Structure 1
Amino acid sequence: MRSNAADVIRSLAFYLVFYGGSVGYVLGFWLAARFGERPARAVVRGWSMFHRRCARWLLGIRVVVEGEMPNEGVLVAVKHESFFEAIDAPAQMDWPAPFPKGELARIPGWGWAARRYGVVVVERDQGAKALRQMVAASRRFAALGRPLVIFPEGTRIPHGQRARLQSGFAGLYKLLGMPVVPVAVDSGQLYHRRWKKPGVITLRVGERIEPGLPRAELEARVTEAINALNP
């Protein structure tokens, strides 16, 4: 679907307001983190809600959630079509723990803030050592009641397409022994990298998948659930 002049104008306004305002939230996080965990969490949630307001009033994008997002120590397997679902997670859940790539965690300033907030860093080139570290961090965050938000496909997938799940996802599921809550997202049809479009982004929460399933069954069920909004 091609973009028109209105899409370009809306997107430029969004980039100006959201990214400009984000600078204030980053500075606010650095200040809030000095006063403890709770103020820092509040800033991150405020930033995510600010993003949602910018999407609503500047881009004309409404968000609809079908089902109830978890607020407990479970694996939340989310379809990844755009940056939207990554930014929006703190607005959907209370203190989620995401799984960013190691490269992101090493960005000056951002990496410090991410680690201070509490994330599970994914180091893809460190093999078993990285997996052990991910499991330890995941257990620590889950014990605090934090939902563990992971993109099991490993990267953004265009709307309407499917991809094989990363092998590390099944490994985490087995080692953690936690339920999985799959979430389908259709953000890719509106929230493009450049010129975004108005409309409705839907998040559909699938049925909980209990621990202990064979890998093939787990992956089949998660794949079907996270692609429920694909045409």
Structure 2
Amino acid sequence: MPASPSPDRAAGRLTLENLALDHRDANGKPFRLFDMPPLTVEPGSRFGISGPSGCGKSSLLHLIAGLLRPSQGRILWNDRAVSELSESGRDRWRRETIGFVFQDFHLIPELDIAANVALPARFSGWRLSAVEKERAAALARRMGLPDPRRRAALLSRGEQQRVAIARALFTRPRLILADEPTASLDTGHAAEVADLLLETVTESGATLICATHDPALLARFGQRLDLTPTAQRRAA
């Protein structure tokens, strides 16, 4: 009988309890970037986050991923308060649960497409198995990248975006966070990349939370949050 998935690997409900995040301005004065009412994202949901530049969309994704700690409130995965874990605990939870499509891609130019896609596996072992190598190549092909041996330094921005999405899917995460996945693309390529992202997420059954300015992409999400920045007031 196959082993049951760990609590981190199982489908999860994401709950944000009264989140707030404080920052400091250029003069060092504290201000509250945003306050949020309670929010629950059910397993398998497609959730879009909109709002003007500087309102905290990327920061909210970083909070959910455990890269930042909230100034107020909690983040729960099922009944586990991940925002209260130690740094090493959040690192482990992130590796086992999340795929992140970063706005700036964060590819390694010297590595080829397949090696960049398989980067998450390097956190648990130095050598890739044959199965992992084939999965990386298959994901690259699925993203319209037929030559997985091409170096990342030779790729267009649209191709780099496809590699970034494939990498986020590599570990079969239950929660995918995408930060402006179509921002660097023209309209035609943006629609194509959005199709690929949504199709592959639907097939995997993962939850997708996406921060974007793209109205065409936002229209495809079942739930949406318009993140309005809090007035630049001093934090309590």
Instruction: Please indicate the TM-score interval, normalised by the length of the shorter structure.
Output: 0.3 to 0.5
* More helix by percentage: 1
TM-score (norm 2): 0.36
Which fold has the larger relative contact order, with Cα–Cα distance below 8 Å and residues 6 or more apart in sequence?
A: 2
TM-score relative to the length of structure 1: 0.36
